Amino acid sequence: MSVIDNIKAFWKDFEQEQKGLLDALNNQNYEKLTEILDTLNSECNEISGAHFFIEDDPEQPELTFDTGPNKTSQLICQQMKKLAPASIKKTWLINDTLTPLSQKAIEAVLQIKDVAYTLMDMTAFYTINPKAQNFEVQVYCPGFSLIDNPEYKREMAIYLIELAVGENCLESYIGSADFLDAPIKDANLCNLCELYDVIMETVQNEKWPEYKHPLDIYTVFKPHQDFASDSLRKDMKMIFTVNPPLIEETLGAKSDVQLDLKAKGGEYGYIYYVNLFDSKEDAALRQKLATQIEALLAPLHCAKVIGGAIGKSYSYIDVVLFDQKMFGQVFAQIQSQLKDKVELHYRSFDQD
């Protein structure tokens, strides 16, 4: 089954359980609520690699997919939100990544020895980096000094920041994250629950770029290799992507990210064509074509443009396929529609 087939099957099951979920919320029947959510969550995790949770508010039911930084999960959950049936969207507020100070954050408890700490017990010490347009954050918890493992504390600090500011803010504006065993003197600080507001106030005051979603953030790669190569995907001079782990592994001839998506019914690949100008005009054409192709793909939900590259001989438009069969049909139409301008080809990354 394709990613799209799996998503539709999930929402069909969710619709069947919706009344039970809402009744359990209204009646505060948490045992029943957990029973229903466990089944749906298992299905969600299998098709996307993410879990979801719901806010404990029957007046405004809210569903949040907790993808973490995994780009494959983010891409699939973004489609899950888009493909939710009208009856679900009418009733539920759907978030496709973790939001700032969600119910999960409010309920989060860090148990150290005999003491339980919440986000309200923690302090964020921060440094603003104007050039990089991000924050360096250190989290102080009174109990951290009782833990010997620094790596565990570092991982916990990142997780606590993610709970406080949400996935989008974490990826957009947190340049580094660490822990503190003791407070720092003469440093910028705030309660961890206030960190999101501090960051967003800085973003707006300093007019930093604003991102609505982690998949709006592009990373640029400049491969260290011999650009004398004219061969496919070996001639790249600059790569830009919303999925850095995919590019890192393709440059390193690995395939974990590709195999993960394939197991979920999708595929990573790229559209390519021979450069027409051997100049800066190639970059402008690639961008124009990518925009046109994304506009044709988006309404059908079968694929999405996730970046691309400019090479010595070729230009590339990277895509994620959620339904390979449908994409094949649409791509044939795109090839025909653009054949007077350029001859387009498609290749999956696992063919390289």
Q: What is the tens place of the pLDDT at every residue in 101-139?
A: 999 999 999 999 999 999 999 999 999 999 999 999 999
d(CA 195, CA 191): 7
Q: Are residues 223 and 345 in the same domain?
A: yes
Entry pTM: 0.94
How many domains are contained in the chain?
A: 3
Is the predicted pLDDT of residue 201 greater than 70, yes or no? Answer: yes
Contact 190, 124 (CB under 8 A): yes
**210 inside domain:** no
**277 inside domain:** yes
Q: Are residues 73 and 36 in the same domain?
A: yes
Q: Are residues 312 and 345 in the same domain?
A: yes
Last residue of some domain: 70, 97, 124?
97
Predicted pLDDT of residue 305: 98
Predicted pLDDT of residue 352: 72
Q: Are residues 295 and 231 in the same domain?
A: yes
Chain centre distance of CA 164: 17
Q: What is the tens place of the pLDDT at every residue in 279-315?
A: 788 899 999 999 999 999 999 999 999 999 999 899 9
* pLDDT class of 346 with cuts at 50, 70, 90: very high
Q: Are residues 121 and 89 in the same domain?
A: no
**261 inside domain:** yes
Task: Give strand ranges (E) for the chain.
Answer: 51-54, 62-66, 93-95, 110-112, 115-117, 123-129, 134-140, 174-180, 188-191, 219-221, 236-241, 267-274, 303-311, 314-321, 345-348
Predicted pLDDT of residue 213: 97
Predicted pLDDT of residue 351: 84
Q: What is the tens place of the pLDDT at every residue in 24-52?
A: 999 989 999 999 999 999 999 999 999 99
Q: Are residues 39 and 71 in the same domain?
A: yes
d(CA 154, CA 340): 55
Q: Are residues 344 and 237 in the same domain?
A: yes
Predicted pLDDT of residue 158: 97
Dig out the tokens for 34 from the structure. Answer: 């957990």
Is the predicted pLDDT of residue 18 greater than 90, yes or no? Answer: yes
Is the predicted pLDDT of residue 227 greater than 60, yes or no? Answer: no
**162 inside domain:** yes
DSSP state of 111: E
**211 inside domain:** no
**250 inside domain:** yes
Last residue of some domain: 162, 181, 205?
205
Helix (H, G, I), strand (E, B) or coil at 146: helix
Predicted pLDDT of residue 225: 62
Q: What is the CATH number of the domain that holds 295?
A: 3.30.70
Q: Are residues 195 and 239 in the same domain?
A: no
Q: Are residues 199 and 322 in the same domain?
A: no
Cα dihedral: 57, 213, 196, 134 (round 10): 170
Q: Are residues 155 and 228 in the same domain?
A: no
**308 inside domain:** yes
> What rounded mean pLDDT belongs to the chain?
94
Q: Are residues 71 and 33 in the same domain?
A: yes
Range(s) of the domain holding residue 273: 218-351
* pLDDT class of 224 with cuts at 50, 70, 90: low
Q: Are residues 155 and 73 in the same domain?
A: no
